[in-house]
Structure 1
Amino acid sequence: MTGSGGAAVLIRGRGVAALAAQHTLAANGVGFAVEPGPARGAAPVVMLGEQALALLRDLFGPSCFQPSSGTFSGAHAIERRIVRWGQGEPVTVPHNAVAVTGAELLSGLAPPVPAPAPVCAEGSAQAFTLYADTAVPEPALRLFGEREAAAAPVTLAAGADAAAVLIEATPLGWLFLIPLGATHGWLLAVGAEPDALLGHSRLVAPAIASAGAVEARFQTAPRMLDHLTGPDWLALGSGALAFDPLCGDGTATAARGGILAAAVASAIAGDCATESLDPAPLLRHYRAMLIAALRRHLAACLPFYRNGGSGAWWRAQAEATAAGHDWCTQILAAEPEPGFVLRGNRLVARDTVG
């Protein structure tokens, strides 16, 4: 493999994780090439919380997705989260976030400068490959529940709070209303069709004047590839690890995963500051860190699915979440203590950290 003068790393795919990995590799002086592949359908709406915004602004610039910025004027400020869960009354909590469409998210994130190095010439060392939301050599997927979301555009009712996202549990599933402006937004319905869930709603339904037809369907249950790494590759992005939007910020997860994946690839390739390291412990560390993140996420989700409702759907999701948490616990119990620590953009051996 080569250092900054050639493509030591090949990134296949596109998305937030791929862009975060590109910026991290560039910062480390590691040459890389990109094969973006075909464009995927963008998410109808994405909410970026404080952690996601901090990561994106650190990687892509301080004006990134500022609601007052002319460059990213599509970002809509969210100031509150109003939640009605189980049999309780609505609870309002402060929430510093912005909402954007999926297309706005990706168009607002620029690739790094300078441009990536050309692909490794024929006969040169095999590049280490990062698979970002694209087909991986071993695609078996582990799913922790079954929670298809239906997304539909909505017109907000007169007087609706356009600075608040609304989250509500119903007997059949849950609703997530995300405004994108003063008069419009998107509704996510998880567990049943929007009309069925709205028929049980006391919080979300009154905030909607009209709902359009469902425009997208996608899985929201937490999921992870069975095989996240191979001898000369690793997977990153939502195709490798994805969180339930109820308790996780998918964009922050993708950005953090991209940074960690690029740090692993930098250590394997050998960047401008270090010699290359043995891939096996680095790849094992990467897998353990993703499983640990998934375990924390499942622990956060479990009370919501245990307390959201008493019907069969709620029980099934709670059982799947608990089983996933137990699986993560068993896997991590067999792993040694993490051998590396992320310092800036690089992984360093834990025993060298003072």
Structure 2
Amino acid sequence: MTAGWRSSVHVMGRGVGVAAAQAVLLENATSFSAEQGPERGSAPVVMLGEQALHLLDSLFGEGRISGSHRITRRIVRWNEAEPVSIPHQAFALSGQALLGALPLAHGSPSAVPPRFSLHARPPKPSLHQFGQREAAAAPVTLAAGADAASVLVEAVAAGWLFLIPLGAECAWLLAVGDAPDALLAQSRLVAPAIGTLGAVEARFETAPRVLEHLVGDDWLVLGSGALAFDPLCGDGTAMAARGGILAGAVASAIADGQDPGPLLRHYRAMLIAALRRHLAACLPFYQRGGSGPWWQEQARVTAEGHAWCTSMLAVEPEPAFVLTGSRLAPRTVAA
């Protein structure tokens, strides 16, 4: 066993969070074994901001996330207002392409039994979910003259639409709140940009949610299995990567013999704090999106989620650790 390895870690699952955690374990020379588990579904389309892409490049190597389509502008029409055009540097690609680009680490298991495990899928799957708003995803072709470098976001009476180009002619439409054709019938921004609408190919929940049990005595959950953001406001891929980095640092510290209790409490608090910030960013959009019952309900449950996060963090102490590189250090030492 390599010098400095006191115990090993077992990593179960796949995805951005798992790959990020494995990268940290490798950097920290923490022995680990990896179990991929069954193939899971991927999002039809993922949009990465420049900061998210830089984070993934720093973890997995520059240029690994290839085949992405550059986005330069976001055009938003909200609550019957005129469309607003905002510069927005991002990259769009299919979820399958993103997962295929992630490195598959097999680890370097030691003779010492694992002291700790990381899970992409929760052992205890009870969720705190703030609302119910299923998205329907359908492939579309862009209309002649549509700007393939712009994403379009539009609020209509019973929900919202998100059009994400993947190339000069093809795009994905996300419809939240009702069926795509029903929402498009109310659309003044997105509908004119669509040439043909394909059949719905995926349905998934977009309401923000967090596991009730993020950690156990000798395990934690990471990635989208632990925490999920609303695609309307927030970069779920970047959050999965940041959470994976933190999870890997926590696992390394535990494998090195540190007390798991404070480390796991820190991990849980950091994820809830991230969700609280996300909900605070989402709330104004749902408050201003429309005056109908659907929008009022989404604003109500988003505010409830923010209040729940606040109540959870109110009983937590100040953060006890700070991430320095790939290691967690006690805040008093780091300061």
With the length of structure 1 as denominator, give the TM-score of the two structures. 0.92
Q: Matches of 1:215 and 1:287 in 2, distance apart?
A: 34
Q: Does 1:78 align with 2:76?
A: no
1:212 counterpart residue number: 198
Partner of 1:289: 270
- Equivalent position amino acid for 1:282 in 2: L
C-alpha offsets along residues 208-249 of structure 1, whole Å, 9 cap, x if unaligned? 011000000000000000010000000001011000001111
Amino acid in structure 2 at the alignment position of 1:156: L
Q: Is the 8 A contact 1:43 1:103 kept in 2?
A: yes
Match of 1:273 in 2: none
Shift of 1:111: 3.4
Pick from 213, 219, 226 the counterpart of residue 240 of structure 1. Answer: 226
Separation in structure 2 between the aligned mates of residue 58 and residue 180 of structure 1, nearest angstrom: 24
The equivalent position to 2:243 in structure 1, one of 257, 260, 271, is: 257
Letter matched to residue 116 of structure 2: F
**TM-score (normalizing by structure 2):** 0.97
Matches within 5 A, 1:105-120: 105-111=98-104, 115-118=106-109
Identity of aligned residues (%): 65
CA contact (8 A) 2:5 2:255 kept: no
Match of 2:119 among 111, 121, 131: 131
Residue in 2 that maps onto 1:69: none
Q: Is the 8 A contact 1:247 1:301 kept in 2?
A: yes
For 2:49, the equivalent position in structure 1 comes to: 49
Residue-pair matches, total: 335
Residue 333 of structure 1 deviates from its aligned partner by 1.1
Show the counterpart of 1:68. none
Residues 59-96 of structure 1: CA deviation (Å, up to 9, x unaligned): 1112233xxxxxx2x21100000000112111111111
CA distance in 2, matches of 1:110, 1:25: 13
Partner Cα separation in structure 2 for residue 80 and residue 146 of structure 1: 29
Q: CA deviation at 1:203?
A: 0.3
In structure 1, what residue type is equivalent to 2:108? Answer: A
Conservation of the 8 A alpha-carbon contact between 2:126 and 2:212 = yes
Write the distance in 2 (CA, Å) between the matches of 1:2 and 1:139.
36
The whole-number CA distance in structure 2 between the counterparts of 1:187 and 1:58 is 30
Q: Which residue identity does 2:321 align to in structure 1? A: F
Rounded Cα–Cα distance in structure 1 between residues aligned with 2:205 and 2:2: 39
Q: Which runs of 5+ in 2 are unaligned?
A: none
Residues in 1 aligned to 2:115 and 2:48: alpha-carbon distance in whole angstroms: 33
Structure 1: which 5+ residue stretches go unaligned? 66-71, 271-275
Matches within 5 A, 1:1-354: 8-65=8-65, 72=66, 74-111=67-104, 115-118=106-109, 121=111, 124-132=112-120, 134=121, 136-270=122-256, 276-354=257-335
Q: Distance in 2 between matches of 1:161 and 1:258?
A: 35
Runs of 4+ in 1 over 2 A off after TM superposition: 1-7, 124-127
Q: Contact 1:77/1:98 (CA < 8 Å) preserved in 2? A: yes
**Separation in 2 of the partners of 1:53 and 1:142?**
29
Name the amino acid aligned to 1:19: A
Q: CA deviation at 1:54?
A: 1.2
Q: Which letter maps to 1:344?
A: G
Whether contact under 8 Å (1:83, 1:166) holds in the other structure is yes
Q: Give the alignment's Cα RMSD to 1 decimal.
A: 1.6
